[in-house]
Amino acid sequence: MAHAAGVRLPFEKLPAAVRAWVERSLGSVVVSAVTQQGGFSPGVAARLVTASGRRAFVKTVGTALNPKTPELFRQEITATQGIGTVPMAPVLFDVYDDGDWVGMLFEDIEGRLPAHPWEQADAERVLGALDELTDALDPSPWPDAPVAAVRSREFLSRWDKVLEDGLAVPDWMDGRVEEFAELARTGLRALAEGKALAHWDLRADNIILTDDRVVFIDWAHPALAPRWADTVILHAEMRASVTLPELPDDEAITGFIAAIGGGLWWGAAQPAPPGLPTVRMWQRESALVHLDWVRDRTQRS
């Protein structure tokens, strides 16, 4: 299923003050602005070329477009500044924040998104780069980052809601919901002990492949977590289409997978939110990937 996408605003529609910041930062007038699609956030996301030939990528949003997104951008700014210069993250040139509009100017990265569904060569390349990124971010260079287990506790504890609501589960899970709820609690406890900085939102449209780099972009949801957290998240997206290395037979990892599966399964049973009629179908399909994964791992134990 295709990823969702936010509604993009053309660069030319930005407030004059924000456009002036961009041109001041780049030292020249913008002569080309090509809007980029993909990703969930609204606002401007454009590749720029100036009269001097300098290139950059700008993303910026105001509260009128979405009252929550500017705060996510501020979090991305803090995370990107905390990460510093590593080849697996984009270089941040400058930031803007007038209390309403928040913006970031990044290097312009010539590349492509990984194929989706995933292809084997892309998957192997990205997972190798993720190992390097994890090494660079463990321990976290931003020790005050949000804790994943705290921020996502409600989502990762939803097996309790499945039980409370008496929701049906796949036939093979009959009589095992309590077991999955306990597994999820184990995963959540392990998650709280992590000291690495996780991207926490890894998927194909948050990754750019160039000739010689893999770049993980859109750091709006970073969090402290075990070093295996991002690998689990990415494996789940890749699992249906490529062959993957086995993850360690660790109850904490199995519990984390179970917790995500429970969050998705309960969510899939709720009424669709306005404007997102297919999200519940996607949640159900993704939940089944996680639940089948837990079944495989518990059968091997």
Q: Does domain 11-106 have CATH number 3.30.200.20?
A: yes
Q: Pairing between strand 214-216 and 207-209?
A: antiparallel
Domain boundaries, the chain: 11-106, 120-300
Helical packing angle, 251-268 and 279-300, nearest 10°: 150
Contact in structure between 159 and 151 (CB atoms under 8 Å): no
Confidence at 68, pLDDT banded by 50, 70, 90: confident
Take residue 292 and report the two structure tokens written for it.
């089948």
**3-class state of residue 230 by DSSP:** helix
**Mean pLDDT in residue range 159-181:** 96
Residue 301 clears pLDDT 90, i.e. is over it: no
Q: How many Cα atoms within 13 Å fall on the side-chain side of residue 274? A: 0
Is the C-alpha dihedral spanning 232, 233, 234, 237 positive or negative? Answer: positive
Q: Are 125 and 209 in contact (CB under 8 A)?
A: yes
Q: Which residue has the higher pLDDT, 3 or 266?
A: 266
pLDDT band at 276 (very low <50, low <70, confident <90, very high): low
> Which residue has tokens 């009629």?
277
What is the spatial distance between Cα 76 and Cα 213, in angstroms, rounded to a whole number? 21
Question: Is the pLDDT assigned to residue 244 strictly greater than 60?
Answer: yes
Residue range 274-289: average pLDDT?
87
Would the pLDDT of 256 be above 50? yes
Residue 3 reports pLDDT greater than 50: no
Token pair of 16 as six digits: 């004059």
pLDDT above 70 covers a percentage of the chain that reads 94
Q: How much is the average pLDDT of 207-231?
A: 95
Q: Which of 71-85, 221-235, 241-255 is predicted least confidently?
A: 71-85
Does pLDDT of 124 surpass 90? Answer: yes
In the chain, what's the furthest Cα-to-Cα distance? Answer: 67
For the residues 71-77, what does the mean pLDDT come to? 92
pLDDT at 54 over 90: yes
Name the phi and psi angles at 243, rounded to 5. -90, 130
Q: At residue 1, does pLDDT exceed 80?
A: no
Tokens representing 47?
A: 């590749």
Is 60 exceeded by the pLDDT of residue 6? no
Residue 78 main-chain phi, psi, to 5 deg? -60, -45
Identify the residue with better confidence: 232 or 83: 232
Domain 120-300: CATH superfamily, name plus number: Aminoglycoside phosphotransferase (APH), C-terminal lobe (3.90.1200.10)
Instruction: Band the pLDDT of 275: cuts 50, 70, 90.
Output: low
Q: What is the pTM of this model?
A: 0.88
pLDDT tens, residue by residue, 136-146: 999 999 888 99
Q: Measured between alpha carbons, how far is 40 from 25 in angstroms, rounded to an integer?
A: 26
Q: What is the pLDDT of residue 41?
A: 66
For the chain, give the mean pLDDT. Answer: 93
Q: Please determine, for residue 55, whether its predicted confidence score (pLDDT) is greater than 80.
A: yes
What tokens does 105 get? 């100017």
- Cα(157)–Cα(123) distance, rounded to whole angstroms? 30
Report the pLDDT averaged over residues 151-173. 97
Above 90 in pLDDT, residue 272? no
User: How far, in Å, CA of 49 to CA of 62, rounded?
Assistant: 23
Distance CA 264, CA 187 (A): 15
User: Which 3-state string (H, E, C) describes 138-164?
Assistant: CCCCCCCCCEHHHHCHHHHCCHHHHHH
Question: With 60 as the cut, is the pLDDT of residue 5 above it?
Answer: no
